[in-house]
Chain A
Amino acid sequence: MRPIYGVSTAILGKYDESIINAVDFAGEKNFDVLEIICEAPEFVPGKVPNEYLREIRRKADDYGLRLQLHAPFYSINLASLDPEVNQMSRYILLKTIEAAVELEAKMITFHLGLCFLPCKLYYEEAMSILLENVMMLVDYANEHSIILAAENRGGRLDIGRSEDLLYVINKLGKPKNLGITFDVVQANVVNDPIEEYLKVKDFVVNSHIRDAPKGKEALLAVGEGEIDFQKLVKLFIDNNFYGPYVFEVSSKERALISRGAFEEIFSNLLLNDDKAVS
């Protein structure tokens, strides 16, 4: 199996750079996948002109580039006890699915939600709202053959620990189009990423690859931080997970460095396997 390498629009640093720039970069540098972070002002699902969506798709097609989406997450809370916030969050996620249909994107990463004071006081009710919302979204995505991938999160208020993700997936009866986006650095914030990966490995369908100092959050290139990628990639292979490895880093250079580092790790691991066989 060949690894699938992707890049996130997180690489767009400059004020005036657009998603089209990211498509060009990913295409010209032969990445397999581009993950578009659906963020305002350029890409608010439901507000993006169809013409622009078509332009993005046409460009991606020209490069043979596969698109996937990262749903909006700032102020989005699928576990909110506030009916209006809840309704808005659901609506934005539905519109993200519709944008994915237009772009022929087959995977959407999303965040489960946040647990503020009201959720902490009425946790079960918040989780019940969350389950209902995710089930509805999973059904809608399924109608369009789209996989939803809930991302692990390490923030104090996030509902996104490995245990939360497994709880939701299991409670919903392990729907076939609901998986996990394993974010290495978010795992690093809460624990050893290796341990966190082992908890969720059976459901991982997508990954965010970046590096950071131990216990910290950052968008560094692979090798710039302290994460043991040798061990992690070995585990990915052992579990037959060959990507997408989406490099969610802060610049184009860091995406290229990260892919280079992954290629080297892969070739070393394959070399070791050959030696072991001979």
Chain B
Amino acid sequence: MKKALEIAKKLSVSHLDIFCAPKHFDIYASENVLRELRDLADSLNMSLSLKAPAFTQNIASFNDYVRDLALKQYKRCIDLCAYLECAFTTIRAGIFFYEERRKMAFALKQLVENMNNILLYASKAGVNVLVENYYLPMDVVKRTRDLQRFVTFFSHFENFGIALNMAHLINVREKVSRVMHDKKVLEKIRAVYLGPPPTPWDTEYDLSKMDLVVKMTKQLFPKLRDRTWIVASIDSEIAKKLIRILREFR
């Protein structure tokens, strides 16, 4: 993490989003490690946020083991966020697999309860929780209409927000204009992930769609200028290019 902060500083960015996935970052890191991280971020004048584990984690699962573990890890991220004085933590809303789809009403009810539980927990800790749109067919939050539904369900929580992932939006063939024309959704967007499709959270990118990423960013940026824009890619050249583009827009 120390190296990541140093690289971030060299790139002259002011925020670091930490992807909580081993071996990259251990959510059970010792207090010493966490304190060191917090102090270093402080000394570099860098704000932090956490992207909670989001590969197999599924708070919408009917499987108790899977759901309970996801809840436990999300709550741990909220605790860490409070300790590290993070701006927010980002979570995946969940995935409805075959059985959850067969019993959709029950699945949705359970998901809402779990989201309430997380938001309440985070609220007590003074932490903002952002829901990120994903891109798989089974994901609960993929399109603008899913974001609208979540805003309806949870906008009474002040600490609820949206982390808009542009690559995921492209992957589900959603036009950015749909987001731009929904005031309530726009208001709740607190961060934007900017990276290559189909997802920045992988190693294989479809670079033919990078022009579309840039075009959509150009459309959206004026409306969300004051939000946290997070460049996400494991390819440093892509990351540098996207940072450059963002600076041009500014």
Contacts and interface: CB of A to CB of B under 8 A. Distances in A.
Nearest to B26: A83
Interface string B209-235: 000000000000000000000000010
Contacts of A120: 202-203
Given A76-B56, A77-B56, A118-B22, A88 B201 contact: no
Interface string A101-131: 0000000000000101110111001000000
A206 interface: no
Given A39-B98, A117-B234, A122-B23, A80 B56 contact: yes
A84 B58 CA distance: 14
Given A39-B99, A75-B57, A116-B55, A44 B22 contact: no
Interface in B62-82: 62-66, 69, 72-73
Contacts of A52: none
Nearest to B203: A120
Contacts, number: 86
B64 A40 contact: yes
A185 to B, nearest CB: 15
Contacts of B21: 81-82, 116-118
A114 B53 CA distance: 15
Contacts of A114: 55-56
B61 A40 contact: yes
A125 to B, nearest CB: 8
Interface in A45-84: 46-47, 72, 74-77, 80-84
Interface residues of A, number: 29
Most buried by A among B21, B23, B64: B21
Interface residues of B, number: 28
B211 to A, nearest CB: 23
Contacts of A122: 23
Given A114-B55, A117-B21, A15 B65 contact: no
A215 B36 CA distance: 51
Interface string B72-107: 110000000000000000000001011100110000
Contacts of A121: 203, 234
Interface string A33-45: 0000001110010
A44 B23 contact: no
A141 to B, nearest CB: 20
B58 A82 contact: no
Contacts of A82: 21-22, 53, 55
Contacts of B98: 39, 74
A91 interface: yes
A74 B73 contact: no
A85 B69 contact: yes
Contacts of A85: 53, 55-57, 69
A20 interface: no
B63 A75 contact: yes
Contacts of A92: 65
A117 B98 CA distance: 24
A40 B103 contact: no
Contacts of B234: 117, 121
Contacts of A84: 69, 72-73
B124 interface: no
Nearest to A14: B102
Contacts of B202: 116-117, 120
A124 to B, nearest CB: 12
B58 A74 contact: yes
B203 A75 contact: no
Per CB-CB distance, the 3 closest pairs between chain A and chain B, nearest first, are A40-B62, A40-B63, A75-B56
Given A39-B98, A40-B62, A116-B55, 20 more contacts: A39-B62, A40-B63, A47-B64, A74-B58, A74-B61, A75-B57, A75-B63, A75-B95, A77-B55, A77-B56, A80-B55, A81-B23, A84-B72, A84-B73, A85-B57, A88-B65, A116-B21, A117-B234, A118-B22, A125-B23
12 contacts: A39-B63, A47-B64, A72-B63, A74-B97, A75-B95, A82-B55, A84-B69, A84-B73, A85-B56, A116-B55, A116-B201, A121-B234
